[in-house]
Structure 1
């Protein structure tokens, strides 16, 4: 049975982090993008990070943050991965001594997405999101999952996922992982315990079904 990795992003409360850990989520995302309603201060992020056991990876999400800000969050939070959502280059993303994910905007054409992905040879993995180029992620906008390009890196599917459609998304795109933020929220940054549980249940159910 193939096991789809699950990433919960945009966490801001200790109780949400604890529940995500209890549910066995693989990745927890903390947001530092300047324009995001889910943006965390470093001290609060460090407190949340301390609640996460070693077997779960912490991902720090940024979008066109200055180098000094990324360096500061790496020093304070010690993320296992960085996730870049802006106009950053491969050289910039690779310059912090931390493996990184690069978000690829799927709001354009398939050729655009493949070309963008090719520009990040140093990426650990690629996150395909439903937003357009230059827009914030976490908008809850989905794209046609049949458009996922063939890439030689781990691919996480994002954008508009929820417990109602994650099983279909997994069966359609066969991604390495799925990433959800607004689809498990009651408001930006405030997660719903019921939605978190149901999302994980549906993703695991999809893994158990025959291809």
Structure 2
């Protein structure tokens, strides 16, 4: 199985182009003001113009108001919504758009409970637990907590880089991997070489399987 790659937290046109040119399957835009990778609607409108056919544009939200999601969708043609806060399944499902839910993993059983709670999602993203931050921690978690039985496509995030993503793919066998900080030279500023190396590592492992 080929593992897909999402490059998240893009803020510059050149970084979107680098992700696409390197073979990313999806690119992510953060609509959460406290994040150093946050973009405005106006910025996202310009960035998404560089996303070609067959590359998914993903909008990341953290505990948003319904009106805020609707405002983004009215101006930015997102393919997929990613909810990274404490949103309920019914909240996530109301926008007539495919969506994925992020789960910060702290202990055994967290992922299984999330699979059950968010059955209508197009995938479950698993990330490191942090009591103060909804993702973007740059930390990994214990991959042994990830169950073999996965009712939804599983997306692995948290502390990934070109140094460890091959091991992650080999051990976890995720549907996709999601990276942000691991391909940056500064928060919100991607490194073209790191993006390329990351995606090459994923493709290398998938090709040898």
Normalised-by-shorter TM-score class: over 0.9
**Partner of 1:103 in structure 2?**
102
Of 181-190 and 147-156, more deviation after overlay is shown by 147-156
In structure 2, how many angstroms separate the alpha carbons of the residues matched to 1:173 and 1:112? 16
RMSD between superposed Cα atoms in Å: 1.1
**Partner of 1:63 in structure 2?**
62
Q: Deviations over 1:166-196 (max 9, x none)?
A: 0000000000000000000011110001101
In structure 1, how many angstroms separate the alpha carbons of the residues matched to 2:88 and 2:52? 31
In structure 1, how many angstroms separate the alpha carbons of the residues matched to 2:152 and 2:110? 17
What TM-score do you get using the length of structure 2 for normalisation? 0.96
**Partner of 1:131 in structure 2?**
129
**Partner of 1:80 in structure 2?**
79
Per-residue deviation, 1:118: 1.1
**Partner of 1:195 in structure 2?**
194
In structure 1, how many angstroms separate the alpha carbons of the residues matched to 2:129 and 2:33? 17
Residues 115 and 151, structure 2, Cα contact 8 Å, conserved in 1: no
Residues 103 and 126, structure 1, Cα contact 8 Å, conserved in 2: yes
What is the DSSP-based 3-state SS (H/G/I as helix, E as strand, rest coil) of the residue aligned with 1:94? helix
Count of residues in Structure 1 that have an aligned counterpart in Structure 2: 208
| CA gap 1:67/1:134 in 2 versus in 1, 3 angstroms | farther
In structure 1, how many angstroms separate the alpha carbons of the residues matched to 2:98 and 2:159? 26
Unaligned 5+ runs, structure 2? none
Per-residue deviation, 1:112: 2.2
Residues 8 and 180, structure 2, Cα contact 8 Å, conserved in 1: yes
What TM-score do you get using the length of structure 1 for normalisation? 0.95
Unaligned 5+ runs, structure 1? none
Per-residue deviation, 1:134: 6.4
Of 53-62 and 31-40, more deviation after overlay is shown by 31-40
In structure 2, how many angstroms separate the alpha carbons of the residues matched to 1:133 and 1:81? 26
What is the DSSP-based 3-state SS (H/G/I as helix, E as strand, rest coil) of the residue aligned with 1:183? helix
What is the DSSP-based 3-state SS (H/G/I as helix, E as strand, rest coil) of the residue aligned with 1:156? strand
**Partner of 2:152 in structure 1?**
153
